[in-house]
Amino acid sequence: MIQTIRGFRDILPEDTALWQAIEKSASELFEDFGFQEIRIPIMEKTELFARSIGETTDIVEKEMYTFPDRKGDKLTLRPEATASVVRSYIQHNMGASDPVQKLYTIGPMFRRERPQKGRYRQFYQINAEVFGISSPYIDAQLILILNELFKRLGLSELKAHINSLGCKECRPAFQKELLSFLNGKKEHLCENCLRRMEKNPLRTLDCKVPECRAALADAPSTLDHLCSGCSDHFETVKSVLNEQGVDFTVDKTLVRGLDYYSRTTFEILTTALGAQSAVAGGGRYDALIKELDGPETYGIGFAIGLDRLADIVAQVVNSSSVEEREAGSQSKFMKLLYAKVPDIFIIPLGEKATRLAYLWSSSLNIAGIRTEADYSGRSLKSLMKRADRLNAAHVLIAGDQEIEENALVLRNMKTKEQYFITAENPVEEIETLLNRV
Ligand code: AMP
């Protein structure tokens, strides 16, 4: 039997309802904040990622799926979305119509990492990118949007970590100090860090090797070296987040694994999946657009890890009690999630009834009422069980006799209330009953 490649997986129908509800919650929220969807290719020229993400990053050094196509061009399955969105922004000269562009995209990314729970080689991200705004308010707003999205999804075990990496004005002086600190710790650093010291010393702060982490515990912080512009910027981000009631921690070790960040960086961390891990991360990349041969334009964005987010949301939904779920069922997200269960499950008993069940269910489907009819001819008892399994809100029982007597029984499975529906015009009567007309 042929199976999926290691680190690749199917998202099965039992999970896609949740994924779709999350995606829809995100896109609705983003659109309310003025974002528009962009769809970008999953394959690009390798050079795009090498130049933007950084030659010495883990992603570019060892995680990209890169191969020559038949003509020998070097191509890469995208490991992240920002580079592609920036490429698209430049290629289509988007800034010409409006200097401010707010874009989002949802789709798969590919990194050849060691697979484990919550880490896959094909994983999904929800990305948002904003071009053309230098103001710190947009930095705060992106964190606010993440906070609001997670709140709507019913999550509370999350915390925003934020940091500022400074800019090309203040970073060189910091790097010099960091470098002299690192030189004093050389014997405790891993090979990667020793190499990174040469090319981009900031990235040593990001190292996951425990010995390096210990050696770097009292490394100098970018925060102590911000120029006044970066410092004011960061202060405004923090103060508006406070004013808007967004909980956050300043985390001086947050440098993130990609080279293109400047000023504000942030991650949303959770302990819901065991060890602390990030469900979303992002930051400002004011130099990137120019570096990719575009105009001098500000940029900032974030990526949400959809696989991890779905795992956490599933955990919360599954662990909540029936009462909690009912209380939460008023929320937009829960409505989206439970919109997937049938409104009506038709149980026909008899041949004539089965034909009618097919006709009625199709008309109800067309009328936008999620209806499922069973054609198996099994007993009432076993079909009631199936209705239960499907979580159907109502069951319509249609035996040949009920049809003869023009009185079908519609039962609300939660309240157990029963209604009589005529066999002549059941579609309209059901529509009226469900308040859909
Ligand atoms: P990054 O682009 O590395 O900042 O990642 C942004 C988010 O994507 C992370 O916070 C994770 O939630 C998610 N993510 C990154 N890599 C993986 C992976 N290999 N598998 C699953 N999720 C991932």
- Between CA 390 and CA 301 the distance in angstroms is 40
State the CB neighbour count (10 A cutoff) for residue 3. Answer: 6
Cα 274 to ligand 1 centre (Å)? 16
Query: Hunting for tokens 């970008």 — which residue is that?
Result: 40
Pairing of strands 74-77, 248-250: unpaired
pLDDT digits (tens, 9 = 90+) for 343-354: 999 999 999 999
* Helix, strand or coil, per DSSP, at residue 196: helix
Provide the pLDDT confidence category of residue 340 given band limits of 50, 70 and 90.
confident
- Between CA 285 and CA 89 the distance in angstroms is 14
pLDDT digits (tens, 9 = 90+) for 91-113: 999 999 999 999 999 999 999 99
131 with 101: CB under 8 angstroms?
yes
DSSP E strands in 83-155: the ranges are 101-110, 122-131
Same fold for the domain at 13-170+226-319 and the one at 341-436? no
Tell me what the pLDDT averaged over the chain comes to: 92
Q: Helices marked H in 244-373 — which ranges?
A: 288-291, 306-319, 322-328, 332-338, 351-366
Look at residue 302 in the predicted model and tell me its pLDDT: 98
- Between CA 84 and CA 48 the distance in angstroms is 8
Cα 280 to ligand 1 centre (Å)? 7
Return the bridge partners of 317, or none: none
**Whether pLDDT at 437 is above 70:** no
Name residues contacting ligand 1 (CB within 6 A).
80, 111, 113, 118-120, 123, 125, 257, 278-281, 303, 305, 307-308
Look at residue 196 in the predicted model and tell me its pLDDT: 82
Cα 305 to ligand 1 centre (Å)? 5
**Whether pLDDT at 436 is above 70:** no
Q: For a pocket test of ligand 1, which of 5, 9, 109, 121 has the largest count of ligand atoms closer than 8 A to its C-beta?
A: 109
Query: Hunting for tokens 């071009």 — which residue is that?
Result: 131
Pairing of strands 299-305, 122-131: antiparallel
| For the CA of 115, the nearest atom of ligand 1 | 19
Q: For a pocket test of ligand 1, which of 84, 124, 165, 307 has the largest count of ligand atoms closer than 8 A to its C-beta?
A: 307
- Between CA 355 and CA 363 the distance in angstroms is 13
How much is the CA Rg of the chain, to the nearest whole Å?
27
Residue 257's Cβ-side half-sphere holds a number of Cα atoms within 13 Å equal to 15
307 with 347: CB under 8 angstroms?
no
**CATH class of the structural domain 341-436:** alpha beta
What is the pTM for the complete model shown?
0.89
Provide the pLDDT confidence category of residue 326 given band limits of 50, 70 and 90.
low
Q: For a pocket test of ligand 1, which of 63, 80, 284, 308 has the largest count of ligand atoms closer than 8 A to its C-beta?
A: 308
Long-range CB pairs of 115-119 (<8 Å, 24+ gap) are 115/6, 115/7, 117/273, 117/274, 118/273, 118/277, 118/305, 118/307, 118/308, 118/311
- Every domain of the chain and the residues it spans: 13-170+226-319, 341-436
| CATH code of the domain occupying 13-170+226-319 | 3.30.930.10
Can you tell me the mean pLDDT for 374-389? 95
**Whether pLDDT at 279 is above 80:** yes
Provide the pLDDT confidence category of residue 328 given band limits of 50, 70 and 90.
low
133 with 286: CB under 8 angstroms?
no
Structure-model confidence comparison of residues 265 and 339, the more confident one? 265
Distances (CA, A) of 113 to 59, 202, 340: 9, 22, 34
Residues near 242 by Cβ (< 8 Å), separated by ≥ 6? none
Q: For a pocket test of ligand 1, which of 80, 122, 125 has the largest count of ligand atoms closer than 8 A to its C-beta?
A: 125
Distances (CA, A) of 366 to 363, 369, 396: 5, 7, 17
Q: Residue 180, class by beta-carbon neighbours within 10 Å (0-12 exposed, 13-18 middle, 19+ buried)?
A: exposed
Encoded tokens for 347:
């149980």
Provide φ and ψ at 381, rounded to 5°.
-60, -45
State the CB neighbour count (10 A cutoff) for residue 115. Answer: 14
- Between CA 424 and CA 427 the distance in angstroms is 9
Pairing of strands 248-250, 158-164: parallel
Q: Residue 223, class by beta-carbon neighbours within 10 Å (0-12 exposed, 13-18 middle, 19+ buried)?
A: middle
Cα 191 to ligand 1 centre (Å)? 24
Structure-model confidence comparison of residues 335 and 127, the more confident one? 127
| For the CA of 278, the nearest atom of ligand 1 | 10
Encoded tokens for 73:
């061009």
Return the bridge partners of 299, or none: 131
Can you tell me the mean pLDDT for 152-176? 91
- List the one residue out of 386, 365, 366 whose CA is nearest residue 374: 386
Please name the residue whose Cα sits nearest to atom 8 of ligand 1: 305
pLDDT digits (tens, 9 = 90+) for 347-377: 999 999 999 999 999 999 999 999 999 999 9
- Between CA 383 and CA 387 the distance in angstroms is 6
Distances (CA, A) of 292 to 49, 111, 261: 10, 22, 14
Cα 80 to ligand 1 centre (Å)? 9
* Helix, strand or coil, per DSSP, at residue 343: coil
Can you tell me the mean pLDDT for 109-137? 96
pLDDT digits (tens, 9 = 90+) for 179-224: 999 999 989 999 888 888 887 888 888 788 889 989 988 899 999 9
Look at residue 202 in the predicted model and tell me its pLDDT: 84
Look at residue 253 in the predicted model and tell me its pLDDT: 85
Can you tell me the mean pLDDT for 139-151? 97
328 with 334: CB under 8 angstroms?
yes
* Helix, strand or coil, per DSSP, at residue 156: coil
